Amino acid sequence: MMQIIAFYLFAAVLIASGALTILARNPVHSVLWLILAFFNAAGLMLLLGAEFIAMLLVIVYVGAVAVLFLFVVMMLDVDFAALRSGFVRYLPFGALLAVVLAAEMLFAVGSWQAGGVQLAGRIAPVHSAASNIQQIGELLYTRYIFLFEAAGIILLVAMIGAIVLTNRPRSGVRRQNVAAQNARRPKDATRLVNQPVGQGVEL
Amino acid sequence: MTAWFQSTFLGVELGWFVATLILILMIALPLMLAVAMIIYADRKIWAAMALRRGPNVVGPFGLLQSFADGLKVFLQETIIPSGANKILFLIAPIITFTVAQMAWAVIPFGSQQVLADINVGLLYILAISSLGVYGVVISGWASNSKYPFFSALRAAAQMISYEVSIGFVLISVVLMADSFNLSAIVLAQKGHVFGLINGFGFNPMLLPMAVVFLISAMAETARTPFDLTEAESELVAGYQTEYSSMSFALFWLGEYANVILMCALNAVLFWGGWLPPIDWAPLYAVPGMIWFFLKIGFFFFVFSWVKATVPRYRYDQLMRLGWKIFLPLSLFWVFLVSGYLMLTRYGA
C-alpha cells in the first residue's frame, strides 16, 4: 500500500514537473522544475530497489549538472518571446520527433509484453545477499571492463576538448603568484623606525 | 519501537509510519535545541577569544540568549522586496532548513541507534549535502538584488569545488571500511590502529585525509575563513541581505544544523563515531551517544576556534586551495590507500 502511494506520488509529480519544465515561461523556473523531476525519478528508482543509481542520479544530476545549468541560466538574459516566435516553424520537425519517440516506446512496450518473462521477475530487484553497489561493481569491473574504460576515455577526451575550445591565451594578464605572496615576510614590506619628533617621515 | 507500533491497532504499514514520524521528531527536536545551544556556545567561544564576555544577560550565564533571539525574529515582520520572485524567495530558506535536517536520518548515534540504516548511507549524505547549495542560489536569484546574486554565484562555485575533494576523501574512507553504511564504517574503526585505538584518523595513512575533510567541511558550510558568501565587507550580508524575521532565522538555523552535521561526520568517518577513543572494555560502560556528542562538541570547538582566529580568504585563494591543492592531494591519496589495501588486505 505504502509503495503504491509512493509510486503514484513520485510518478505524478515527475510527469507534472517534466511538463512544467517545458511550459514554464521563466528559464530559471524551468531548471527548478527539472531538478524536481530528477528528484522524483530518483524516488522511483529507490522503489525499484536500485538505491545506488538513485543516489548517483541525485549526486551527479541534481548536485552538479543542474547547479551548472542554473548558474548559466541565471547569468543569461534569455528573451523567451524571441525563442517562442520560431514555434510554428519548428513544429513539423518537433512533431516528427514526437512520432518517432512514441513509435519506439510502443515497440519497446510491445516486445516487453510479448516476452515470456514473468512480470514479477522483471520488476523486482535481483535477490541476492550482495548489495547493489557490490553487484554493479562486480559487473562493471569484470565483464564490462573495456566498455567502462572506453566510457572513461570518452569523458576524458570531452573534458580536454572543452578546455581546449574555451581556453584563449591572453597576453598582458597579471596573475596572483601565491607562492611569492606566501613567501613574503613582514621585514620585506615594513620598516620599523624610531622617528625623532619634529622631523618629517622619509617615505 | 517500530515493532511495538506495528503490533497495535495501527497495523503494519500505518504503525511503521507513526513510529518513523516519532523517531524523526526524536532527532529533529533535540537537533533544534542543540542548534540554539551551539549558537550560544559559538558566541561565548568567540567572546572568550576576543577577551569579551559574550551573551550574559538573558537567563543564567546568558544561556537563554538564543531563545530570546528566536522569539525576537519570530515577532518581526516578514518583508518581501517588491522586485523579488515571491514564491522562490520564500521557498529558499525552507530548502536550506529542510536539507540541513534530512541528512541526519543516516547518522548513527550509537550501535543500532540510527533512523535509516541504509546501504548507501554515505552516498545519501553526499547527495543531500549537494542540495544545500540550492537554498543559497535560489535565495540569491529570487531576491533580485545585486549583492545576494554575487553571493549566490560565489556559493555555487565554492560548494561544487569542495564537494569534489570531499568525494575523494570519502572514497578513501570507504575503501578502508569496505562499506558505504555509516554504522559499518564506525564498526570498521574498532581497534583500527594496533588493535587498540578506535578511529581511522589515528592511522597515519588517513590522518591527512581527516585534515582535508575538516578544512573542506568548513568551506562546504561556508564558515570563516571561507565565508565568502556572506563577506560583510564586500557583500553586505550575502544571500541573506533581503531576508528578515523567520525567513532569515531559517537560514540561520539551517546553517548551524549543517555545521553540527559536518562535526558529526568528522566524528563518524575518522574518529570512531560512538566508539570510545581506546578499545578498552571499561570505556564501553559510557553510553556510545555520550562519546559521540563529546566528539561533536570537540569539533564544534575547533570550528569556532578557527572562526575566531583565522582571517577570511581571498576568493582566488579559496579556489586555488580547492582545485590545485586538495583535489590532487585527495586523488593521490585514493591511489595510495587502494594500493596499500591491495598489498595488505587483498594480497595482490
Q: What is the ipTM of this complex?
A: 0.79
pTM higher than the cut 0.90: no
Task: Provide the b/e sequence for B196-210 (b: ≥16 CB within 10 Å).
Answer: ebbbbbbbeebebbb
CB atoms within 10 A of CB B166: 26
According to the model, what pLDDT value does residue A200 have? 77
Give the tens place of pLDDT for each residue, B291-345: 888 889 999 999 999 988 888 888 888 888 888 889 999 999 999 988 888 888 8
Distance, in Å, from the CA atom of A72 to the CA atom of A63, rounded to the nearest integer, reads: 15
Which residue of B lies nearest to A133 if distances are taken between CA atoms?
A: B120
Give the tens place of pLDDT for each residue, A167-194: 888 888 888 787 888 888 888 888 888 8
According to the model, what pLDDT value does residue B64 have? 86
**pLDDT for A122 beyond 80:** no
The rounded mean pLDDT for chain B is: 84
Q: Which residues of B touch A2 (CB under 8 A)?
A: 13, 16-17
What one-character-per-residue DSSP string does B115-155 give? S---TTHHHHHHHHHHHHHHHHHHHHHHTTSHHHHHHHHHH
CB B93 within 8 A of CB A25: no
Q: Collapse the DSSP code of B213 into the 3-class scheme (helix H, G, I; strand E, B; otherwise coil) and give the result.
A: helix
Distance, in Å, from the CA atom of B195 to the CA atom of B327, rounded to the nearest integer, reads: 31
CB B181 within 8 A of CB B192: no
Which residue of A lies nearest to B320 if distances are taken between CA atoms?
A: A178
- Name which residue leads in pLDDT, A1 or A45: A45
**pLDDT for A125 beyond 60:** no
The rounded mean pLDDT for chain A is: 81
Give the tens place of pLDDT for each residue, A8-66: 888 999 999 988 888 887 888 888 899 899 989 988 888 887 888 888 888 888 888 88
Mean pLDDT of B13-17: 79
Least confident of A72-86, B82-96, B134-148: A72-86
Segment holding B205, helix H or strand E = none
In order of A38, B50, B81, the CA distances from B298 in angstroms are 38, 20, 40
Give the tens place of pLDDT for each residue, B214-224: 998 888 888 87
Q: How confident is the model at residue A155 (pLDDT cuts 50, 70, 90)?
A: very high
With CB atoms and an 8 Å threshold, state whether A55 touches B130.
no
Q: Collapse the DSSP code of B278 into the 3-class scheme (helix H, G, I; strand E, B; otherwise coil) and give the result.
A: strand
Could you tell me how far CA B216 lies from the centroid of its own chain? Answer: 11
User: Which of B71-75, B144-148, B259-263 is most confident?
Assistant: B259-263
According to the model, what pLDDT value does residue A116 have? 55
Q: How confident is the model at residue A159 (pLDDT cuts 50, 70, 90)?
A: very high
- Name which residue leads in pLDDT, A160 or A140: A160
According to the model, what pLDDT value does residue A153 have? 96
According to the model, what pLDDT value does residue A156 have? 95
- Name which residue leads in pLDDT, B246 or A83: B246
Q: Which residues of A touch B137 (CB under 8 A)?
A: 67, 70-71, 74
Distance, in Å, from the CA atom of A8 to the CA atom of A23, rounded to the nearest integer, reads: 22
% pLDDT > 90, chain A: 18
Q: Which residues of B touch A176 (CB under 8 A)?
A: 316
Which residue of A lies nearest to B315 if distances are taken between CA atoms?
A: A176
**pLDDT for B42 beyond 80:** yes
**pLDDT for A124 beyond 60:** no
According to the model, what pLDDT value does residue A79 have? 64
In order of A190, B315, B319, B321, the CA distances from A184 in angstroms are 11, 19, 21, 18
Task: Work out the angle at residue B228's Cα, subtended by the Cα atoms of residues B227 and B229, and round it to the nearest 5 degrees.
Answer: 90
Which residue of A lies nearest to B162 if distances are taken between CA atoms?
A: A64
Distance, in Å, from the CA atom of B117 to the CA atom of B107, rounded to the nearest integer, reads: 9
What one-character-per-residue DSSP string does A133-184 give? HHHHHHIIIIITHHHHHHHHHHHHHHHHHHHHHH----SS-----HHHHHH-
- Residue B305 CB contacts under 8 Å (≥ 6 apart), including other chains: B45, B49
Mean pLDDT of A125-145: 75
With CB atoms and an 8 Å threshold, state whether A56 touches B320.
no
Q: C-alpha grid cell for residue B256?
A: 548551524
Q: Collapse the DSSP code of B55 into the 3-class scheme (helix H, G, I; strand E, B; otherwise coil) and give the result.
A: coil
Q: C-alpha grid cell for residue B51?
A: 577577551
Distance, in Å, from the CA atom of B110 to the CA atom of B121, rounded to the nearest integer, reads: 15
Give the tens place of pLDDT for each residue, B50-81: 888 888 888 788 888 888 888 888 888 888 88
Q: Which residues of A touch B316 (CB under 8 A)?
A: 176
Mutate to test the interface with B, among A3, A32, A59 (most CBs of B within 10 A): A59
- Name which residue leads in pLDDT, A89 or B95: B95
CB B259 within 8 A of CB B303: yes
